[in-house]
């Protein structure tokens, strides 16, 4: 498996993974816009995209994980951990829905701690998690 920068030919597969991973997935247009303002990386095996990471940089410094997702049949095999090892260093934050126990466990495994609970009136609350290195 290799980890590399997103390119246009990955678009359909990244959109597909987003669709099967999130209730509000990224559209193709959103992915293209994000590829301009953020960094998008993909994990690829034999031409198949197994997962993607959308990583942003805060103006005040540090990174934030905007999206990370792995194809449903390929989870718990270290694909997302590979993104963390390759591209996520230094201070980093992420928001995760309170019901997303798998994601929280994943981030905790990678040194993130819950900073606070973000309360929303409509959508589900989220935890703001942060890693200080
Ligand atoms: C969260 C996600 C990206 C993890 O990707 P992954 O490739 O399966 O993760 P890895 O195999 O690299 O890491 C495995 C670790 O993550 C955690 N984890 C992953 N899936 C888990 C699950 N279903 N239940 C509990 N812990 C889980 C565990 O800490 C696990 O380590 P362990 O097996 O030693 O306990 C993946 O589950 C996913 O795509 N989820 C849907 C999208 C999503 O929720 N993204 C995060 C939004 S904030």
Whole-structure pTM value = 0.96
Residue ID of nearest Cα to ligand 1 atom 16: 106
Q: Measured on CA atoms in the order 105, 33, 122, 70, is the torsion positive or negative?
A: negative
Q: What pLDDT is recorded for position 123?
A: 83
Distance 73 CA to ligand 1 centre (A): 12
Nearest-atom number in ligand 1 for the CA of 22 is: 42
105 lines ligand 1 (CB under 6 A): yes
Q: What pLDDT is recorded for position 46?
A: 96
Domains in the chain: ranges and CATH:
1-89 (3.40.630.30), 90-133 (no CATH)
Query: What are the per-10-residue average pLDDT scores of the chain (133 residues)?
Result: 97 98 96 97 97 95 96 97 94 96 97 96 91 86
* H helix or E strand, kind and range, residue 6: none
């Amino acid at each position: 498996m290799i980890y590399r920068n997103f390119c246009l030919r990955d678009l359909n597969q990244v959109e597909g993974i987003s669709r099967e991973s999130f209730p509000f997935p990224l559209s193709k247009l959103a992915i293209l816009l994000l590829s301009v303002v953020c960094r998008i990386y993909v994990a690829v095996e034999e031409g198949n995209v197994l997962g993607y990471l959308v990583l942003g940089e805060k103006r005040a410094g540090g990174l934030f994980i905007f999206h990370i997702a792995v194809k449903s049949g390929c989870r718990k095999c270290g694909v997302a951990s590979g993104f963390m090892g390759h591209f996520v260093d230094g201070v980093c934050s992420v928001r995760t829905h309170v019901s997303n126990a798998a994601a929280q466990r994943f981030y905790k495994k990678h040194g993130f701690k819950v900073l606070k609970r973000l309360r929303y009136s409509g959508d589900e609350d989220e935890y703001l998690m942060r890693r200080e290195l």
